[in-house]
Structure 1
């Protein structure tokens, strides 16, 4: 029979003891997390723990009233839609044949999102759906969707909107 050097119990008893000790510790962490989340919510700071708080698409600008409503579009996606250039497929020089998200061929009149950091292009609806899942990176290369040089403005506006929107 093998013995553990710590408690002089048979190894199998020591393993069971660790599991019995670990479960209450994990339960304590869950309790603390739930208590912290509830406290933050009661203080009116749910944006601190829920960064994907959303508002109505008509109330995106920094001059919007605080009486905004929830919808299915994250604030980050609404702000990114303002920052990214939309172009017609026919205006692009040497574009790929198909969208990397839906794999459908581009049509001449399709509205295209051209990412400024990596130059990848996607159908507008495909990238909108991607950003709707609160994704802030290119679906192909994972570079940030926020254009270089506009990160500070993006973060300030996102912070302002989170602090001035009500649920």
Structure 2
């Protein structure tokens, strides 16, 4: 028996797949043209494998993530165990891998939870400012004011407003 060749259920998926394939090829052609013309800055980051290789991790860091990384230095797991300063986890709660002696670890200052440096750095790269496990702030209360001042200075906003401070004197 079989299906007749003109059935819309058979024709529509084939037409849809052909259209999607054509759009994908057109997309690649446009990206190649933009790259060739030197206009790759108009492309979204991470849109293809070439952009991922070119993207610098320093450019993608937010000011807050950079400041928090300064406040939470990375130590090896062996150094943390040797210091015997309380809570010592055996595995990272983000990736669930056990800590090895040479692994770089960041220990949170508020809650004392420990994570692989790369795991918690990715967490902070998404502009998260709390512990991935218990959600306590990564910045301790006693350092919050200093953190806010540094973040404000890094934003460049004080420089912007200082240019217009003479205008407010007239008001």
TM-score (norm 1): 0.54
- Structure whose alpha-carbon radius of gyration is higher: 2
The alpha-carbon deviation at position 79 of structure 1 amounts to 0.3
For structure 2, the 5+ residue unaligned runs are 1-56, 161-171
In 1, the alpha carbon distance for the partners of 2:88 and 2:151 equals 32
Q: C-alpha displacement at 1:136, in angstroms?
A: 0.2
Provide Cα deviations, 1:104-154, integer angstroms capped at 9, x if missing partner.
Answer: 111101110001100000000000000000000000111000123110110
* Aligned mate of 1:154, from 137, 144, 147: 147
* Counterpart residue number, 1:100: 93
- Deviation >3 Å, runs of 4+: none
Preserved CA contact (<8 Å) 2:89 2:113 = no
Contact kept? 1:84, 1:147, Cα under 8 Å: no
Greater relative contact order (Cα < 8 A, sep 6+): 1
Residue of 91, 107, 110 corresponding to 1:114 = 107
Alpha-carbon separation, structure 2, partners of 1:148 and 1:120 = 17
**What residue number does 2:65 align with?**
77
State the partner residue of 2:47: none
Report how far residue 85 of structure 1 moved: 3.0
Determine if contact 1:85/1:115 at 8 Å carries over to the other structure: no
Contact 1:84–1:116 (Cα < 8 Å) also in 2: yes
Partner SS for 1:161: helix
CA RMSD in angstroms, aligned pairs only: 2.1
* Structure 1 residue ranges without an equivalent (≥5): 1-55, 58-70
